């Protein structure tokens, strides 16, 4: 079963990426893509492909990888199947940071302000959750709820004082989360941060495995727990902060992806990481394709769709936890 996971994941990822390039208001089958690229430039097909579909697809890929990976690392680190960047308040913190950058016009003066403030927001939120939520599933989730509440209050405050109705609409719309109409420059701006974040998350593999035995035994096996926590926090903040600052809020991908792959890799935390990242990307690409296919006047926002699909899964997870824990 586990031997089939890798080829299946990669095949599926390539397939949904091609589909993501093809699907939209204008249907571009592979033949049309190739014709467009070979025909004299500029032409409509190649413009759609290169300026719209390709950045959107690549953004979905890297944001999906980021969310899946950080979910898997947080669940492994905290040995908590409910841990994920959105439930721990990291995503809300990032959204608040990014909104501050947009709201005060920093983003238009200095483009890096959005990802940087997103990362700072994520870092502060994560730090607060980790610090006050130490000591168990319940306290951690509660701390995440509290931090999310605080960040939401900050966002509401920004809306409250929005200079005009249009600005308020802009912010709300952005918060819903989407990959549409993101430019190459936005993608290139955030990608280095996301890659750096993923690097911080990946180096934790041995620590996550050892933590299967609990913190005391992991420490006795030579694992530096403080370093592992710091790297996970920094990695999540960099990756999710930068991702959220471009896409707005996209929830449940980080929660869901690790659960999909865990049974196939024998539940070993380190082996969950990379497949979870791949499935994060697949889930996000599928959801993004779905937003383009659902025939509504206004495109359904990606963040709305992932929540609609992810929330029932969360219910299922809670029910399962209720059965397995005393």
Q: Footprint of other proteins on this chain (CB under 8 A)?
A: 79, 203, 205-206, 209-214, 216-217, 219-224, 266-269
Polymer length in residues for the chain:
326
Q: Tell me the closest approach of the beta carbon of residue 78 to other proteins, in angstroms.
A: 10
Longest dimension (CA), the chain: 67
Torsion of CA 287, 293, 297, 299, to 10 degrees: 30
Q: How far apart are CA 66 and CA 54, in angstroms?
A: 18
79 or 229, CB closer to other proteins? 79
Region for residue 208 given its phi and psi (left: phi exceeds 0; alpha: psi -120 to 50; beta: otherwise)? alpha
| Closest CB 3 distance from other proteins, rounded Å | 14
Residues 6+ positions from 14 with CB-CB distance below 8 Å: none
We find the least distance from the C-beta atom of residue 218 to other proteins, in angstroms, to be 8
The smaller minimum CB distance to other proteins, of residues 207 and 289, is found at: 207
Query: C-beta of 206: minimal distance to other proteins in Å?
Result: 6
Closest to 280 in 3D by CA, of 50, 1, 84, 55: 84
Measured from the CB atom, the residue of 103 and 264 that comes closer to other proteins is 264
Q: How far is the CB of 69 from other proteins (least distance, A)?
A: 15
CA–CA dist 216, 63 (Å, integer): 34
CB of residue 274 to other proteins, shortest distance in Å: 11
Encode 46-72 in three state secondary structure. Answer: HHHHHHHHHHHHHHHHHHHHHHHHHHH
Q: Which CB atom, from 119 or from 255, has the smaller least distance to other proteins?
A: 255
Nearer to other proteins by Cβ, of 160 and 216: the residue is 216
Closer residue to other proteins in complex, CB, 235/269:
269
Nearer of residues 82 and 223 to other proteins, judged by Cβ = 223
The position carrying tokens 């953004």 is: 59
DSSP string, 174-187: HHT---TT--HHHH
Going from the C-alpha of 158 to that of each of 91, 109, 196, 316, the distances in angstroms are 17, 19, 30, 35
Minimum distance, C-beta of residue 220 to other proteins, in the bound complex (Å): 4
């Amino acid at each position: 079963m586990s031997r089939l996971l890798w080829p299946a994941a990669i095949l599926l990822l390539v397939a949904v990426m091609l589909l993501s390039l093809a699907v939209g208001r204008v249907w571009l089958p592979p033949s049309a893509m190739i014709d467009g690229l070979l025909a004299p430039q500029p032409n409509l097909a190649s413009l759609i492909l290169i300026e719209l579909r390709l950045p959107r697809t690549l953004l979905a890929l890297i944001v999906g990888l980021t969310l899946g990976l950080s979910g898997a690392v947080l669940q492994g680190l905290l040995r908590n199947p409910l841990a994920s960047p959105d439930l721990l308040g990291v995503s809300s913190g990032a959204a608040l940071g990014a909104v501050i950058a947009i709201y005060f016009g920093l983003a238009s003066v200095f483009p890096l302000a959005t990802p940087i403030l997103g990362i700072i927001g994520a870092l502060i939120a994560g730090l607060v959750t980790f610090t006050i939520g130490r000591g168990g599933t319940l306290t951690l989730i509660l701390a995440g709820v509290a931090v999310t509440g605080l960040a939401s209050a900050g966002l509401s405050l920004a809306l409250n004082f929005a200079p005009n109705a249009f600005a308020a609409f802009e912010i709300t719309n952005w918060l819903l989360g989407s990959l549409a109409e993101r430019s190459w420059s936005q993608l290139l701006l955030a990608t280095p941060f996301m890659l750096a974040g993923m690097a911080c998350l990946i180096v934790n593999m041995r620590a996550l495995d050892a933590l299967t035995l609990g913190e005391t035994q992991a420490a006795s096996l030579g694992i530096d727990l403080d370093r592992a926590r710091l790297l996970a926090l920094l990695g999540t903040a960099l990756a999710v902060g930068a991702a959220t600052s471009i896409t707005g809020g996209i929830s449940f991908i980080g929660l869901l992806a690790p659960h999909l792959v865990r049974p196939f890799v024998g539940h070993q935390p380190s082996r969950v990481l990379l497949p979870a990242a791949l499935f994060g990307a697949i889930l996000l690409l599928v959801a993004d394709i779905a937003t383009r296919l659902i025939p509504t006047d206004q495109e359904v926002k990606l963040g709305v769709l992932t929540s609609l699909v992810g929330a029932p899964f969360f219910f299922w997870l809670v029910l399962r936890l209720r059965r397995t824990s005393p």
